[in-house]
Structure 1
Amino acid sequence: MSGPMNRPIGGAMNAPTQRSKDFRGSALRLVKRLTPQRTLTAMVLLLGIGGIAIGVIGPRVLGHATDLLFNGVIGRELPLGLTKEQAVEAARARGDGQFADLLSGMNVIPGYGVDFAAIARTLLLALGLYLIAALMIWVQARLLNVTVQRTMVALRSDVEDKVHRLPLSYFDTRQRGEVLSRVTNDVDNIQQSLTMTISQLLTSVLTVIAVFVMMLTISPLLALITVLTVPLSLLATRTIARRSQKLFIDQWRNTGRLNAHIEETYSGFTVVKTFGHREIAEKKFSELNGDVYRASFGAQFLSGLVGPATTFIGNVSYVAVAVVGGIQVATGQITLGSIQAFIQYVRQFNQPLTQVAAMYNTMQSGIASAERVFDLLDADEQRPDPVPPTPRAQPFAGRVEFEHVEFAYRPGTPIIEDLSFVAEPGSTVAIVGPTGAGKTTLVNLLMRFYEVDEGRILIDGVDIADMDRHELRSGIGMVLQDTWLFGGTIYDNIAYGRPDATEAEVIEAATAAHVDRFVHTLPDGYETRVNDDGGNISAGEKQLITIARAILAQPRLLILDEATSSVDTRTELLIQLATAELRRDRTSFIIAHRLSTIRDADLILVVEAGRIVERGTHDELLARRGEYWAMVNA
């Protein structure tokens, strides 16, 4: 093989060191993705404001019910016929100043007991307010869920579109499991984080504001005492978050590395077992799994300290309010119902802060995943097609010309140097040479998987750089050494070459590729299902299916890259017969180590170190007794 030897060895282990992440910038960028749902977002905000505003009135109403009850109890003990002022003076006259202060702050009528009817009306009002608030919050949660789901649908669509715009070099320098982790695990984690945090964050912020306003209406002094603890909570949260943020980034980076190792091990499980690398694979898994464990444990442990820290600070303010509030009630500055309502407000004020702190680990985890997804979305894309692209003749006539082509996967390490040749329409060009000579790179350039650094590649006189990639590739058929079958039936795998083909055309292509011969020996025939990697059929049968797929596609240009390297001699003969029919009247490029497959080629190119060292027919090259002659003898 020449391709993989030429490409940079990819993988997360060789990826560049991850740069310092912008937590705030990524969070704002994630929130901005909600803007297409601005109408729903506005409704969510309005419902949240309304529900919380109504909900925070409840403690004040309940406090009024407590005042009615307490006023009735005290009033029943006072002589009937006195005014409140007279009762206060009488208490002071007998030296009970503390009771007089308490009485002065109450709305009591001496001689009258508890007004249970008024209390019932007050409680019903509170119940109604709570029901309305709950309904509004429920509707808000439903709309918020719709908003988040629509946002995630758009994000997944953007990621999918981005993957198709990325150059092949992006995937060559990263393990597949690492990329899969970004487009699956990280996106799912963002969704869960948004669902959990946005609702909680929005509710918490609105609750804190509304509760603070209500506390000010009761006692500015107590409100000030409560607010003084907020900076301490924020300081504790910020201190812990700075330490845990890096660990969350490490957690998801290590998760990607672990997924990459698992994907590679499972996809090459037969190779691992054959060469006895089970212990090595398990050791590598244990190391990567340990990295995930340490990062995850550290991140969760540190972020888990935020909740207890803020709860402790909140309890300090709760104690201070209880002490100062008790003094104010005793001195008649506020009523018992008011201090009861205020204590409820303190709990409501501290609870959102504690909840935000408790779910801060979820938010940090989501932002860490968002950074990884945004990193993918910001990756350099392949060069866009010209607008409009140069139209090509339909179909290709098939003349291919390389003009002084130069290319390097890495700057300063050329793979192809000043390479020029012409393939006439309908001819067969064979490319031979040692591993790493650049043979597969030539066809990658022809398919525009990579762009040439210098020179041009022309098809029918048109530079392929000026063509639409889809139009270019739709006219080229490829049969590679590494066959690819998807999970489905044999019929579906062949029909993939031309989805609009009729059943008769699929069977005809299968017959031409000698697939029909072995399909009838299978229990379900063409409906036999194959695994994702085709593991339940032989390598030769897989190769014949891919040839049938290429025959069905009816391309004008054909590329055969080591198509017979992994099959037995009998299957090789079948493949040669199939490809001979496939190559009829088509310009074909054959890359092969087995020289028996290229003897009848119209042009043989001998490539070494990215240069053509010999060219000619089989007989002409043998007569020169050069590199090709040495390869044949070897």
Structure 2
Amino acid sequence: MSTPENNGKKPEKNGEDGGPTPARIKGAPQRGGPGGPMAGAMPTEKAMHFKESSLRLLRMMRPERATASLALLLGVVSVTLSVVGPKILGHATNLIFGGVIGKLSPAGLTRDEAIATARATGNDTIADVMTTVDFTPGQGIDFGEVGRVLLIVLALFVLSSAAMLWQGRLTTTIVQRTAYRLREQAETKLARLPLGYFDKQPRGEILSRTTNDIDNISQTLQQALSQLVISLLTIVGVLLMMILISPLLALIAVITVPVSLWVTVIIGKRAQPQFLKQWGTTGKLNGHIEEMFTGHALVKVFGRQKEASATFAEHNEDLFQAAFKAQFISGIIQPAMMFIGNVNYVLVAVIGGLRVASGTMSLGDVQAFIQYSRQFSQPITQVASMANLLQSGVASAERVFDLLDSEEQSPEPAEPLTPADTVGRVAFEHVSFRYEEDKPLIDDLSLSVEPGHTVAIVGPTGAGKTTLVNLLMRFYEVRGGRITLDGVDIAAMTREDLRARTGMVLQDTWLFGGTIAQNIVYGVGEVSEERMLEAARATHVDHFVRTLPDGYDTIIDEEGSNLSAGEKQLITIARAFLTEPTILVLDEATSSVDTRTEVLIQRAMTELRSGRTSFVIAHRLSTIRDADLILVMENGSIVEQGDHEGLLEAGGAYARLYAAQFAEAVVGVD
């Protein structure tokens, strides 16, 4: 099985042949590093519209339709119970007010006689007010009835709160399941993206989309579904109750709705671009921080701390400005809504008081209506104040959807083929390839490698050496011609099948947080301890591991900071031993070890390469001098091929490279 360097861990910097090198991730500042020409590069795709992204986000919750329906039903129940409460409280107010009037009225009279007496004495206004309530002259407040009404209201509010609590629990379930699926889709998408996507995206930007943005979406949905739905239901329920009490006052309250919507839309349009910029700048800042942390050693070595700090300060300032503008502009909505709500409150109170004085409304109804007007304006204010939250969440959704909509690698064949005999015969047949449409790299390259042969590939930077391996591994697809493995076109094989037959050892190591033993057996599956130890001894890992306090149970972090570069390289070589691949790819595999260790590794490599087709990309003479075939590449073409001695005698390109790079590296080792 292929090692993690060649599968799934995408590159962040360009290879020596001008193309991206898979898995060259650790230990060097990434694009956007100090002095890089593409520092903080961001995707230039145009963001989707707010409406489109919002609807798409809602469609992602379709699997939770049943739960959402139950949550909506509970919301309706909760709102219904809560909006009925003020009306019943208004009845309690009328009981109290009626008791006060009854106490002040002469006993022995009927209600109508008491009203007529008030009019006869010239108190028409008081008489009008008395017509709006029920009372018995001479009797005071019926506290027993008032108490029963209050108990009913209390029960309603308790049930309303219980329904809302249950609705909130269901809403949390819906949101977290949606966020779970979104993270799952993002992870699956990353596995299907071509290597070229990762060449153009800083790792910090990708991490920001799959973590920060999805978390922001989750928070937005949580607050939106729990508050927005209840607020909208409350607006509808309260509006119906206000119409039942007084259509005139309801009309006054409704007039404020279009004004509120107009204010929200105007402010929202100005805030949305700032939220997009805020989250875009967040990804840019995260990318820079991640790159600087990964390459902190090189930043210090080359004295680029000031430049890195200046770049950070620039990104941080951009984020500050974007976040400040987004929050400030959207924050204007809430005070604007409060002002409109207060104006509505004053109008309702004044007109309601006049209607009580005229006898057309009871005091309890006015009191209930004032409560409803507050209940009506409050959810409108809440909805408006959530505009910044919604815009922020949709801006994050746009960025995640942009990732999910990115062009994927070519699909696997419907009916994949598998070589009948796995011997390791590789052929490049008139292969053409280019990273950029207008920049050809490899053109009409043909090559045949017999099973068990070791092929060394040499050449100057940008010649196409690593690209050749990238094409063999199907990290990139050929533009013309084909590559076959044991007579089968690799494009007709699944990538998993192809890479399972290939092992790679690269210059830049990849280790994960875990024990040394777990890192050695990574990707191999179930393996016995004896087999693992055999691979470790063969690659001279066993020697240095035995010197560690915990041996093979020693925990290493993801960067392997508690191991030397050579020790990390040996672990990756031991990992390749366990895969038992048909094809072995060594890309500067011994560049991180000392000369003595290199000699030992070369002996182990000789055993590892036995019976396997090997491709070796290297500059050190000790790596390639014994190769069965040496290919010299220039500008994407093979200009020379042969064995070491024959190419030296030819006095061509290889001889020039040897004189320039390898002459001083010749070390005789018996």
Q: Percent identity at matched positions? A: 56
3-state DSSP of counterpart to 2:638: strand
Instruction: Please name the residue that 1:514 is paired with.
Output: 540
CA distance in 2, matches of 1:617, 1:378: 48
SS at match of 1:229: helix
SS in 1 for 2:483: strand
Output the CA distance in 1 between the equivalents of 2:17 and 2:146. 85
Alpha carbons of structure 1 residues 143 and 199: separation in structure 2 relative to 1, 3 Å: same
1:559 matched residue in structure 2? 585
Deviation of the 1:391 alpha carbon: 2.5
**From 203, 210, 216, the counterpart of 1:176:** 203
Q: What residue in structure 1 maps to residue 436 of structure 2?
A: 410
Report matched runs for 1:69-218 at 5 Å: 69-218=96-245
Structure 1 residue runs of 5 or longer lacking an equivalent are: none
Output aligned runs, 1:490-501, within 5 Å.
490-501=516-527
Are 1:547 and 2:559 matched, yes or no? no
TM-score (normalizing by structure 2): 0.93
SS of match in other structure, 2:277: helix
**Matches of 1:21 and 1:329, distance apart in 2:** 53
Segment drifting more, 123-132 vs 572-581: 572-581
For residues 198-245 of structure 1, the C-alpha deviation after alignment (integer angstroms, 9 at most, x for no partner) is 111000000000000000010000000011011111111111111111
1:595 aligned to which of 599, 621, 624: 621
1:65 aligns with 2:77: no
The structure whose RCO (Cα within 8 Å, separation 6+) is larger is 2
Match of 2:668 in 1: none
Find out whether 1:627 has 2:631 as its counterpart: no
Residues 1:238 and 2:265 aligned together: yes
Find out whether 1:482 has 2:525 as its counterpart: no
SS in 2 for 1:142: helix
1:487 CA drift (Å): 1.4
Q: Which residue of 477, 481, 501 maps to 1:451?
A: 477
**Hey, what's the Cα distance between the residues in 1 that align with 2:393 and 2:409?**
29
Aligned to 1:322: 349
Shifted more, 584-593 versus 532-541: the winner is 532-541
Give the corresponding residue for 2:15.
3
Q: Helix, strand or coil: the match of 2:471? A: helix
Are the equivalent residues in 2 in contact too, given 1:2–1:439 (CA < 8 A)? no
Equivalent position to 2:551, from 511, 525, 533: 525
Aligned 8 A contact 1:7 1:172 in 2: no
Aligned amino acid, residue 521 of structure 1: T
C-alpha offsets along residues 348-375 of structure 1, whole Å, 9 cap, x if unaligned?
1011111122222111111111111111
Moved more, 6-15 or 418-427: 6-15
Partner of 2:3: none
2:386 matched to which residue of 1? Answer: 359
**Is 1:468 matched up with 2:494?**
yes
Q: How far did residue 497 of structure 1 move?
A: 4.0
Find the aligned partners of 2:345 and 2:601 in 1 and give their Cα distance: 83
Return the alpha-carbon distance in structure 2 between the equivalents of residues 263 and 80 of structure 1.
86
CA separation in 2, counterparts of 1:58 and 1:207? Answer: 13
Indicate conservation of the 8 Å contact 1:2/1:440, yes or no. Answer: no
Cα 1:497–1:40 change in 2 (3 A) is: closer
* Aligned-residue offset at 1:16: 4.4
Pairing 1:341–2:353 present: no
Whether the 8 Å contact between 2:47 and 2:402 is mirrored in structure 1 is no
**Alpha-carbon distance in 2 for matches of 1:584, 1:18:** 49
- What is the one-letter code of the residue matched to 1:155? L
1:572 maps to which of 598, 604, 607: 598
Please tell me the residue identity of whatever aligns with 1:290: E
Shift of 1:59: 0.4
Amino acid at match of 1:6: G
Residues 151 and 497 (structure 1), Cα distance of their counterparts in 2 relative to 1, 3 Å cut? closer
Counterpart contact for 1:403–1:455, Cα < 8 Å:
yes
Gap runs ≥5 in structure 2: 1-12, 21-30, 33-37, 661-670
The answer as to whether partners of 2:53 and 2:394 remain within 8 angstroms in 1 is yes
Q: Contact conserved, 1:497 with 1:550, CA < 8 A, in 2?
A: no
Q: What corresponds to 1:296 in structure 2?
A: 323
Deviation of 1:5 (Å)? 5.1
Cα separation, 2, equivalents of 1:532 and 1:222? 67
Quick check: 2:41–2:202 contact (8 Å CA) kept in 1?
no
CA distance in 1, matches of 2:16, 2:334: 51
Distance 1:18 1:585 in 2: 49
Q: Distance in 2 between matches of 1:71 and 1:303?
A: 48
Asked if 1 retains the 8 angstrom alpha-carbon contact of 2:521 and 2:575, the reply is yes
Distance (whole Å) between structure 2 residues aligned to residue 2 and residue 153 of structure 1:
34
Structure 2 CA distance, aligned partners of 1:626 and 1:239?
72
Distance 2:46 2:524 in 1: 45
Structure 1 letter corresponding to 2:183: R
**Cα distance in structure 2, aligned partners of 1:531 and 1:76:** 84
**Structure-to-structure mapping, 1:229-268, within 5 angstroms:** 229-268=256-295
SS at match of 1:604: strand
Task: Calculate the aligned-residue CA RMSD, in Å.
Answer: 1.4
Contact 1:403 1:456 in 2 (8 A): yes
Question: Is this contact kept in 2: 1:12–1:175, CA < 8 A?
Answer: no
Contact kept in structure 1, 2:455 and 2:630, CA below 8 Å: yes
Contact 1:401 1:423 in 2 (8 A): yes
Asked if structure 1 preserves the Cα contact closer than 8 Å seen for 2:331 and 2:385, the reply is: yes
